């Protein structure tokens, strides 16, 4: 079975206050169009370079990032839990919870199932819910192949190489999988994820306040911050988190569906987000979008989680020092889709009015290659970039 062919994406971006999208690739174009694309790429690179050097750098990563590594889509989760043609158990469950299976929306279906079990018990419905959770857990675990993490490694490698005086990179992700952890390990980096440094690793929010320094063997030097360290907040849990009977959260490579510390795809995610350990991650997220001098990169996230999109929308409207960069291969279509997600339209309108909201039409892998490598710039290059920024014609 051959791998599905990746959809071809023509990269482009839309700057705040602009009326159109600027193409970054001019295929089969004349010299004038080619020169225009080169200027657009240079402008985008300078913007990203300035953004990476802001005091706070925050990433909100969604399922689109995991898709680049072979992760499951929502359709894959539907096919696994319900079946391409609904199974007997799925049909029986749908009949009992009064749900129409024609919409093929796993989130809506599981929401109905969970709501039904809140007011009564039923063996058939409970069995289906547990089997669905097992499918989701397995599909978000078994796909991971270190050879497919090139995009994640490039992304982390370039973003985490920041100045020592700046705050650590913060990565918030809704994904359950271990893509960012494995990519960081391959790079020799460290993800501070709220778990203890010794085995068995247990969750304690205090560990988010810790850092790592390199200490000299002798002398009065107190040490220097270690490179490649970043903060990782898993907003919906992780495939290797389990909750013990006493409420302790610890690492477990093979948790059961009942013990797994995950917020499964269902519309009850908002309520579940305010239970530990998700509560701590949400608190950190809400604080991060309010910080001054902050760049927030939204990559592979479709704004389908209201509990994450609403605070971000409010922050854009109230935080004058926030720069928002939204990256999606279908960004140009989603912002004008009359039947689409309302947040896309609202962010697009705010950007059109001059708020610091940028849209980049690119896949996660393509964007990872666009991110400038801070350490590749010599002092002379950095000075030249600064001069260009001051002298560039309006």
CA 65/CA 26 separation, integer angstroms: 26
Nearest to 106, CA basis, from 336, 276, 266: 266
- Rounded percentage of the chain residues whose pLDDT exceeds 90: 59
Question: Residue 174, Cα to own-chain centre: how many angstroms?
Answer: 6
> Which has the higher per-residue pLDDT, 185 or 258?
185
CA distances from 32 to 9, 25, 173 (A): 22, 13, 41
| Under 8 Å between Cβ of 176 and 213 | no
How much is the pLDDT for 293? 95
| pLDDT tens-place string over residues 9-34 | 579 999 999 989 999 976 665 678 88
| Under 8 Å between Cβ of 334 and 308 | no
- How far apart, in Å, do the first and last CA atoms of the chain sit? 53
User: Is the CA virtual torsion 303, 291, 209, 277 positive or negative?
Assistant: negative
CA 28/CA 34 separation, integer angstroms: 9
Residue 74 banded pLDDT, cuts 50, 70, 90: confident
Nearest to 367, CA basis, from 65, 164, 160: 65
Class of residue 387 by CB neighbours under 10 A (exposed 0-12, middle 13-18, buried 19+): exposed
How much is the pLDDT for 339? 77
Pairing between β-strand 322-327 and β-strand 260-262 as defined by DSSP bridges: unpaired
Tell me the sheet residues that pair with 249: 243
| pLDDT tens-place string over residues 264-283 | 776 555 555 567 788 889 99
Question: Residue 383, Cα to own-chain centre: how many angstroms?
Answer: 32
Residue 378 banded pLDDT, cuts 50, 70, 90: very low
Q: CA Rg, the chain, in Å?
A: 22
How much is the pLDDT for 120? 86
Residue 2 banded pLDDT, cuts 50, 70, 90: very low
Q: Residue range 189-212: average pLDDT?
A: 92
How much is the pLDDT for 86? 93
CA 165/CA 55 separation, integer angstroms: 8
Helix (H, G, I), strand (E, B) or coil at 82: coil
How much is the pLDDT for 304? 87
Tokens of 176: 């359950």
Mean pLDDT over each residue of the chain, to the nearest integer: 87
CA 83/CA 112 separation, integer angstroms: 17
Helix (H, G, I), strand (E, B) or coil at 175: coil
- Structure pTM? 0.87
Q: Map out the domains of the chain with their CATH numbers.
A: 12-71+146-236+273-379 (3.40.50.1220), 74-142 (no CATH)
CA 264/CA 33 separation, integer angstroms: 47
Class of residue 183 by CB neighbours under 10 A (exposed 0-12, middle 13-18, buried 19+): buried
Residue 94 banded pLDDT, cuts 50, 70, 90: very high
């Amino acid at each position: 079975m051959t791998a599905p062919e990746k959809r071809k994406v023509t990269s482009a971006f839309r700057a705040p206050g602009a009326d159109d999208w600027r193409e970054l690739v001019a295929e089969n174009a004349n010299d004038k169009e080619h020169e225009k694309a080169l200027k657009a790429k240079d402008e985008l690179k300078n913007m990203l370079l300035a953004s990476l050097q802001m005091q706070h750098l925050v990433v909100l990563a969604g399922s689109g990032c995991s898709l680049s590594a072979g992760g499951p889509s929502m359709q894959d989760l539907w096919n696994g839990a319900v079946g391409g043609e609904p199974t007997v158990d799925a049909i029986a469950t749908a009949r009992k919870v009064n749900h129409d299976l024609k919409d093929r929306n796993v989130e809506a279906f599981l929401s109905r199932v969970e709501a039904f079990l809140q007011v009564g018990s039923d063996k058939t419905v409970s069995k289906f819910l547990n089997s669905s959770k097992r499918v989701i857990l397995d599909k978000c675990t078994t796909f991971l192949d270190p050879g497919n993490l090139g995009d994640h490694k490039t992304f982390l490698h370039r973003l985490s190489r920041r100045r020592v005086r700046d705050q650590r990179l913060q990565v918030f992700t809704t994904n359950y999988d271990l893509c960012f952890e494995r990519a960081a390990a391959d790079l020799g980096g460290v993800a501070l994820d709220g778990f203890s440094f010794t085995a068995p690793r247990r969750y304690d929010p205090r560990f988010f306040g810790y850092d790592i320094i390199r200490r000299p063997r002798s002398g009065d030097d107190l040490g220097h911050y270690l490179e490649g360290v970043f903060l990782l907040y898993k907003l919906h849990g992780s495939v290797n988190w389990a909750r013990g009977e006493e409420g302790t959260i610890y690492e477990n490579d093979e948790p059961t569906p009942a013990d797994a510390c995950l917020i499964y795809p269902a519309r009850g995610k908002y309520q579940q987000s305010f239970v530990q350990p998700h509560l701590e991650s949400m608190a950190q997220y809400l604080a991060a979008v309010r910080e001054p001098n902050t760049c927030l990169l939204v990559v592979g996230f479709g704004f389908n989680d209201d509990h994450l999109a609403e605070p971000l929308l409010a922050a854009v409207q109230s935080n004058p020092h926030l720069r928002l960069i939204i990256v999606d291969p279908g960004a140009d279509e989603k912002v004008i889709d009359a039947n689409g997600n309302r947040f896309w339209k609202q962010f697009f309108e705010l950007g059109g009015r001059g708020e610091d909201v940028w849209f980049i039409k690119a896949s996660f892998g393509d964007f990872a290659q666009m991110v400038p490598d801070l350490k590749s710039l010599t002092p002379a290059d950095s000075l030249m970039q600064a001069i260009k920024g001051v002298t560039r014609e309006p």
